[in-house]
């Protein structure tokens, strides 16, 4: 029996719904139902009573749930002990994508005068809204650390951040746009323009920028992007001739967009994102970076 199925079972029991459990586990409702149906078939009893009001544990399900929680705790302890024993040989896995390139972190690491005995493995991934949501909530599973913009709402519930610097806000403009040839922009230059920016509620700093623009520059039409930027957002700006509130670190993301500095008294923190419970080799890696920064 796969221990991930036990985790799915406990999550469904807590949520009382396949769909809510799927959201928490970052898998589809169909996958959750398939796991639960397979589990019930494997052990030969019904664990959930299914009604129009949701799911409730049967008496057998309640008994199974108590034992499943104990089993998962033992598995978790066994994995932690095994990882600790093997940590001297385990690499630090660094996520790498178009919008979260690992090169700045590798440059920082290579510049350290004193480094622990760690090996590095680069793990590529593709930036999509769904991927980034899963990446942030499951750091430590596919890779251990990630460098990028770290003004993330409620991040302390699922990851930690080591701040290492800041990004400057810029304006992305299609090359055919009248502002594309400018060396620097003021907010007044954006009057009458469409400006795409991160939707409200994701970044506290960008929410402050939005409020300021609405109050002081009402002629700028603000349009929302999805929860996170991905390449589709950059394509949308180029195709529609709209402007994009972007970062200086993303100047090479889309070759058809010009990245222009703008007079804004806001910066976005840049940092290393890592799990709430980093593995020993990851902790040594982060401690070395932290000591160098201090």
For the CA atoms of 84, 85, 89, 94, the dihedral, rounded to the nearest 10 degrees, stands at: -20
Residues 24 and 151 both lie in one domain: no
What would the pLDDT profile of 155-195 be if each residue is shown by its tens digit?
A: 888 899 999 999 999 999 999 999 999 999 999 999 999 99
Residues 224 and 274 both lie in one domain: yes
Q: Kindly give the residue spans of alpha helices, DSSP state H, lying in the chain.
A: 3-15, 18-25, 29-43, 59-86, 103-110, 129-137, 204-216, 231-240, 280-293
Residues 113 and 24 both lie in one domain: no
- Percent of the chain, pLDDT > 70? 96
Instruction: Give the whole-angstrom CA distance, residue 61 versus residue 87.
Output: 37
Residues 111 and 162 both lie in one domain: yes
Residues 293 and 175 both lie in one domain: yes
What would the pLDDT profile of 96-144 be if each residue is shown by its tens digit?
A: 999 999 999 999 898 887 788 788 999 999 998 888 888 988 999 999 9
Domain limit, last residue, from 34, 66, 86: 86
Residues 227 and 271 both lie in one domain: yes
Contacts of 48 (CB under 8 A, 6+ apart): 12, 13, 36, 40, 55, 56, 57, 58, 61
Instruction: Give the whole-angstrom CA distance, residue 97 versus residue 145.
Output: 12
Domain that holds residue 75: 3-86
Domain limit, last residue, from 35, 62, 86: 86
- DSSP tag of 159: -
Distances (CA, A) of 154 to 23, 73, 102, 263, 293: 17, 26, 24, 28, 25
Give the pLDDT band of residue 82 (cuts 50, 70, 90): low
Residues 122 and 32 both lie in one domain: no
Contacts of 237 (CB under 8 A, 6+ apart): 172, 173, 174, 196, 243, 244, 254, 257
| pLDDT over 60 at 245, yes or no | yes
Confidence (pLDDT) at 86: 56
Domain limit, last residue, from 65, 86, 107: 86
Number of domains in the chain: 2
Max distance between CA atoms of the chain, in angstroms, equals 70
pLDDT mean across residues, the chain: 91
Better pLDDT: 152 or 224: 224
Residues 150 and 288 both lie in one domain: yes
CATH number of 122's domain? 3.40.190.290
Residues 169 and 24 both lie in one domain: no
Highest mean pLDDT among 115-119, 217-221, 290-294: 217-221
Give the pLDDT band of residue 259 (cuts 50, 70, 90): very high
CATH number of 10's domain? 1.10.10.10
Residues 276 and 228 both lie in one domain: yes
Residues 173 and 192 both lie in one domain: yes
Give the pLDDT band of residue 73 (cuts 50, 70, 90): confident
| pLDDT over 70 at 153, yes or no | yes
Confidence (pLDDT) at 88: 53
Residues 72 and 192 both lie in one domain: no
């Amino acid at each position: 029996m796969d221990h991930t199925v036990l985790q799915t079972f406990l999550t469904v029991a807590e949520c009382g719904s396949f769909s809510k459990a799927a959201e928490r586990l970052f898998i589809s409702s169909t996958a959750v139902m398939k796991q639960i149906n397979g589990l019930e078939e494997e052990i030969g009893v019904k664990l959930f009573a299914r009604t129009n009001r949701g799911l409730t544990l049967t008496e057998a399900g309640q008994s199974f749930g108590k034992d499943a929680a104990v089993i998962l705790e033992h598995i978790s302890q066994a994995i932690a002990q095994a990882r600790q024993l093997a940590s001297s040989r385990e690499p630090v896995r660094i996520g790498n994508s178009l919008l979260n390139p690992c090169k700045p972190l590798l440059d920082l690491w290579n510049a350290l005068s004193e480094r622990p005995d760690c090996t590095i493995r680069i793990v590529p991934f593709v930036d999509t809204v769904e991927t980034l949501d899963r990446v942030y909530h499951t750091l430590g599973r596919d890779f251990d650390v990630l460098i990028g913009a770290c003004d993330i709402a409620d991040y302390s519930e699922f990851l930690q951040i080591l701040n290492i610097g800041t990004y400057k806000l810029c304006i992305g403009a299609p090359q055919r746009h009248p502002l594309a040839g400018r060396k620097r922009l003021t907010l007044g230059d954006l009057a009458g323009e469409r400006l795409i920016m991160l939707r409200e509620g994701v970044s506290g700093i960008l929410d402050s920028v939005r409020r300021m623009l609405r109050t002081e520059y009402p002629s700028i039409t603000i349009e929302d992007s999805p929860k996170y930027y991905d390449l589709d957002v950059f394509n949308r700006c180029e195709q529609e001739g709209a402007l994009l509130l972007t970062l200086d670190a993303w100047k090479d993301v889309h070759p058809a967009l010009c990245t222009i500095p703008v007079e804004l008294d806001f910066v976005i923190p840049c940092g290393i994102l890592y799990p709430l419970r980093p593995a020993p080799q990851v902790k040594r890696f982060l401690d070395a970076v932290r000591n160098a920064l201090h």
